[in-house]
Homo-oligomer: A and B are copies of this chain.
Amino acid sequence: MTASPASSASSARECSIANALAVVGERWSLLVLREVLLGNVRFESIAANTGGSRDILSARLRTLVEAGVLERRLYDEHPRRYEYLPTEAGWALQPILLALMDWGDRYVTQGPPPTVWEHSCGAELHLEAVCAACGEPASSGQSRLLRLGGVDQVPAG
């Protein structure tokens, strides 16, 4: 937790990708999020389904709560037991996880996709990233950098 990618050396870009990774970029963070978003909100099931060591999971859960991505809620008074619920920021990570899954299905996983979602329209869910304004796909070549690290970019050409 000392030097995050975002806050390291001299002239690294100020960048929300790095800032996001400083919060959810550590090992196991996104796997913990996966479980929590699937509804496995208790320590035991998170440990079982991710396969991570209990100590680092404990640490990750703590940092994710501190970062406001999860909320730790007491669900049983007497043997004090807690569960970890996604906050709004936590739910907002779902598209990232689905996009990672899609990419993994396509370029890493051998054989058929191990996990399949059905969209409310009835089809198997595959993500597409579109421009929120016009709805057109935001694929490569369809976008241009306007400003980077607070510095406006000059159009090439």
State the A residues within 8 Å of B (CB): 5, 8-23, 25-28, 30-31, 34, 37-38, 48-52, 68-69, 89, 91-109, 113-121, 123-136, 138-140, 142-150
Chain A binding surface, main DSSP class: mixed
Number of copies: 2
Q: Which residues of B contact A92 (CB under 8 A)?
A: 103, 106-107
B17 touches A34 (CB 8 A): yes
Q: Are A127 and B116 in contact (CB under 8 A)?
A: no
Residues of B within 8 A of A115 (CB): 15-17, 145, 147-149
> Once bound together, how far apart are the Cα atoms of A24 and B112, in whole Å?
20
- Taking A115-B145, A127-B138 as known contacts, 15 extra A-B pairs with beta carbons closer than 8 A to each other, sorted by chain A number, are A5-B31, A8-B51, A11-B48, A16-B100, A19-B104, A25-B25, A38-B148, A99-B129, A114-B148, A116-B147, A118-B145, A125-B131, A127-B131, A127-B132, A128-B132
For the complex, what is the distance from the CA of A9 to the CA of B56, rounded to whole Å?
14
Residues in chain B near residue A101, CB distance under 8 A: 15-17, 20
Selected contact of A114 from candidates B30, B93, B138, B149, CB within 8 Å = B149
- How long is the Cα–Cα vector from A121 to B23 in the complex, in angstroms? 32
Partner of A16, one of B10, B113, B148, B149: B113
Q: Is the CB of B138 within 8 A of A125?
A: yes
